[in-house]
Amino acid sequence: MKLNGSDIFVECLKEQGVDTVFGFPGGAVLNIYDALYKARDEIRHVLTSHEQGAAHAADGYARATGKTGVCIATSGPGATNLVTGIATAYMDSVPMVAFTGQVATPLLGKDSFQEVDITGITMPITKHNFIVKDVTKLADTIRRAFAIACEGRPGPVLVDICKDVSAAFAEFESKPPKKPRSAPSGVSEKDIEQAAEAINNSKQPIILSGGGVSIAGASQEVLELSGKAGIPVATTLMGLGSFPGTHELFTGLVGMHGSRTSNMAVSEADLFIAIGARFSDRVISNVKKFAPNAEIMHIDIDPAEIGKNIVVRYPLTGNIKKILKALNAKVKKRDYSAWNKKIDEWKVSYPLKYIKDEVLRPHYIVERIYELTKGESIITTEVGQNQLWAAQFYKYTAPRQFISSGGLGTMGYGLGACIGAQMGRPDKKVINIAGDGSFRMNCTEIATAVEYKLPIIIAILNNGVLGMVRQWQDLFYEKRYSATSIDRGTDFVALAEAFGAKGIRVTKPDEVDAALTEALASEDTPVLIDFQIDKDDKVFPIVPPGAPIYELID
């Protein structure tokens, strides 16, 4: 049958099973939005307040559901407003397809109104991108974009569609989506046997479980390996939930804000098993002194990550789930050992702790959120101290439960991601733990949450400063607080109510439970809680820049 480009666009989304898209219209995508209007009973379009909010919402939707997120923007500033969200998804391996409108093909390269080279701009932050100048190539380009986004190591793909393409006609034949190509395996039977032998012979092994474990659906295999061989497990920030935070073998985060137990275990281990992690600088800190006594085993889908930041003795490249299944079959069962005893003693001696007094502490707030939700909520965060307190004091027991910008560290990420996660998982209560600095960057997305009657909770840990930057100024810059005070008198409760949400202010510890209970009871209205905390509360432990991870400040 013959369809115009906009109808082909919609039909291709249906082929891919897309039921929700996030976006903001404009001139170059008017034809596409007209087609979306006609298909409104089949595809839900979520109108955000800003294109960056659309990108973060598509990202949060993808992380919460495991599906590919979709966002749309017009040409020029609409497209460039997606860039931060695309880069965020790229750094954290999130499957997303971003569609942008472009000027008509005769106007390309002429500095036309709202023309930018968005494919050139996004080339370094996408797995691949396309510009479509021929309507006959539109359908196959969209199909390819979805395939690329979710195969292998996932990531964002951008499709730029010229306006005349969206209006032109072409023959269209519906096709079922292709199964993603499996990642090529660089692992032989001999590799598996050598890796299993290394695990069986190790006396003090430790596992680092990263975000790739959740992406691969390999949490059960990591749990089996850990339990069978009695190996303690630490996680990266992105790996939270990939191994149960309540498990007896869990040691906490590792790296700059890792637990003392995790960092000491890594530093004394004789075998370090990294699974679905990329050895970022926030994990290894001083590379020459990272895991100094250990041989390194690295299991990852992306061969480019093997040996990139640290020397690896046992590289295992390919599908993590398949590799772990093969490895588990050859690993020997191990009883509680002297190493396990030492780890348990460290956990008792060096727990995460904070001052418990009459002051409203962020650590306490996160603990109460955990208790009152019974650990079952999806938590999104902004970036900074709020992110780390949420990581440390909420126990994540399942993949896709902790949603945060890890690699890029994007302030303003959490609210959009919270909206996307709630729309993708309406069966869960989704809570955005935010700092006041990050929150105000994209606070207009409250209007989106109100319009779509989303019962999200926005828990602002409001200290009136850019908390993490101020913490570094305090610890490492002799208390020169340059441009970090943002106590501008903004009334976040009044702001929430101006948008049509519910606002609650909390200033004392004994007000926390009542506020959270009220917020958790909301079924169709966003609730913002302004928790007013002290500006000098800090995230501990912290490894000073350039120091080995065993030299922590508590």
166-175: b (≥16 Cβ within 10 Å) or e: bbbebebeee
Residue 527 contacts residue 459 (beta carbons within 8 Å): no
Residue 250 is among the residues annotated as catalytic for this protein: no
C-alpha–C-alpha distance, residues 204 and 197, integer Å: 14
Helices (H), 373-466: 385-393, 414-424, 436-439, 446-451
Burial class for 524, CB neighbours closer than 10 Å (0-12, 13-18, 19+): exposed
Looking at residue 257, the DSSP 8-state letter turns out to be T
User: Of 114, 194, 220, 532, which is the active-site residue?
Assistant: 114
The single residue of 14, 42, 113, 193 carrying the catalytic annotation is 113
Told to judge if 468 belongs to the known catalytic residues of this protein, a careful annotator would answer: yes
Answer for the pair 119, 158: CB distance below 8 angstroms, yes or no. yes
CB 422 within 8 A of CB 439: no
114 has catalytic annotation: yes
- Taking alpha carbons only, the member of 185, 309, 338, 313 closest to residue 236 is 309
Which is the catalytic residue, given 163, 321, 429, 538? 163
> Taking Cα atoms as reference points, which of 111, 91, 114, 84 lies closest to residue 102?
114
Catalytic residue among 11, 22, 24, 51: 51
Of 88, 212, 215, nearest to 156 by C-alpha is: 88
Query: Which amino acid type is present at position 520?
Result: L
Q: For helices 338-349 and 260-268, give the axis angle rounded to 10 degrees.
A: 150
- Tell which residue, 11, 29, 23, has the closest CA to residue 165: 29
Give the residue numbers marked as catalytic. Answer: 51, 113-114, 163, 468
